[in-house]
Structure formats: C-alpha cells, structure tokens
Amino acid sequence: MDSRAWVKLKMPDLGIREENDMAAWLKEELRKIAEADDLHISPFRDDGKTYGTPTWIWSVAVNGELYVRAYNGKSSRWYQAALYQKTGRITAAGMTKEVSFESISGDINDQIDEAYRVKYKGSSYLDPMIGARARSATVKVAPR
C-alpha cells in the first residue's frame, strides 16, 4: 500500500489538503448558490485577516464549478483583492463559505457566457457581463 494512502486511512481528517487536492462544491450547496441572486464576495484585505466589504455580484455554475465576473473588469477593487489574496469568503443563499479565488481564461468563458444569458436573461446588465471587459475578469470560486 502506498504510504500516502496509509496516512489517509490512519490519520484523522485535519482539514489539510494536499496541494493537488481541489475542494469541490457539494451539489446541493452549488445548486442553491446558482439559483440565488444574492452572492456577496469578500476577499481578504491587505492584512490577509480582515474580510473586505461585501460586494454584490452575479454568479453562475458551469460543470460543477462556481464563477463570477467583475462588471468593471480587472480594475474592480474586489477582483484585484481576490487575485492578490487568493482567499476570502462569499455569502449566498443563506450560507457563508470560506473560498479561494482563481483567475480563469480560455474556452470555458463561452460556457460561462451562456450560463449568464440563461440566468440573467432580460437584464440591461447582461451585455456588459458577457462583454470583453467583464469576461477578462472571470474568477473561479472554490470552497476551502
């Protein structure tokens, strides 16, 4: 038996993850967050301990992952803090979750655009949220 497997079997879960272990959303949590329209994001401030002012933003779920975008693009304060600190918390659907943030680019953005079209159809803010400025500031939000 691999020694790493033995450690996982014999040691209690201390909440420590290996570097390549990515946390995943529980299906029910992600469903609730995806259906809600009340996500507030709070990356840590510069001290790395104090949460920033909660900012209400749109969110969508694609392929079991949660994504958000900065309406004002890469110049948005919360976006800059999220990328710099890499962690913080969100509040949505009556839950508060500690999370990590990761900048996303590439083909997944087409699927994220479509999820925004479906969820926010009819909103005057939809076009800017699937436009180049916001699309360049796409963030994957994962539980930690």
CATH code at position 132: 2.30.110.10
pTM for the complete prediction? Answer: 0.84
In the three-class reduction of DSSP (H, G, I as helix; E, B as strand; rest coil), residue 103 is classed as strand
Q: Cβ(23)–Cβ(144) under 8 Å?
A: yes
Residues of the domain holding 43: 23-143
The pLDDT, as a whole number, for residue 23 is 84
The count of domains in the chain is 1
Question: Could you tell me if residue 18 is inside a domain?
Answer: no
Question: Could you tell me if residue 4 is inside a domain?
Answer: no
Q: How far apart, in whole angstroms, are the C-alpha atoms of residue 72 and residue 128? A: 9
pLDDT in tens, 21-79: 458 999 999 999 999 999 999 999 999 999 999 999 999 999 999 999 999 999 999 99
Question: Could you tell me if residue 6 is inside a domain?
Answer: no
pLDDT in tens, 12-36: 333 333 333 458 999 999 999 999 9
pLDDT (average), residues 104-113: 97
Question: Could you tell me if residue 109 is inside a domain?
Answer: yes
Question: Could you tell me if residue 47 is inside a domain?
Answer: yes
Q: List C-alpha distances in Å: 135 to 52, 53, 69, 82, 119.
A: 23, 23, 7, 16, 16
